[in-house]
Amino acid sequence: MENEKNEKKEFDLVKEIISFVKDMAVCMVIVLVIMHFIVRPIGVMGSSMYPTLEEGEVGLSDVIGYRLNGLERFDIAIVYIEQKDEHLVKRVVGLPGETVSYKDGKLYINGEYVEEDFLDTEYARTYDGVFMEDVEEITLGEDEYFCLGDNRPRSSDSRYYGPFKKDKIKCKGVFVLWPFNKIGFHTW
């Protein structure tokens, strides 16, 4: 009788362990599917997107919207940098096939001036020195994007890495979840 009770306890314990492992596996698969196909968690590191996004903000970025609709000029994009094995948050300025340049702090696409409404001009004026240096004309390939940080003097971006290939851009936009007083969606 005592032997049967011990066997039942051992059997129940084994069932519980198997059940727990199955539940964990299902949860991991669900999380991986969500992160790969729907949204991706993102943390803002550094000040390259200030004041749009600030260091320490945490949120979700849109994977499915990027895959279905692609990128438009001035979308926020999450770019994977292989050399550093990290993701950067940047702003799409130039689209595939376009010629991009900056002269006297102004953006030119295919030789035409394009206003950057998203830039905080008050913040740019407080910066001592040149906020955006000149960039010689660069013509993007059919799968390349020119991306910059909003805080131009403090950003390593396409000026440093060169144009980003489409397959290195993983998602777009950021829905800030933390801190709570900053909750909201940032596309631009």
Q: Which of 8, 15, 48, 61 is catalytic?
A: 48
Rounded CA gap, 61 and 63, in Å?
Answer: 6
Q: Which of 61, 90, 155, 158 is catalytic?
A: 90
Confirm whether 168 is a catalytic residue. no
Could you count the other beta carbons within 10 Å of the beta carbon of residue 76?
Answer: 26
Q: Hey, what amino acid is at 66?
A: Y
Confirm whether 48 is a catalytic residue. yes
Rounded CA gap, 93 and 76, in Å?
Answer: 9
Active-site residues, by number, are: 48, 90
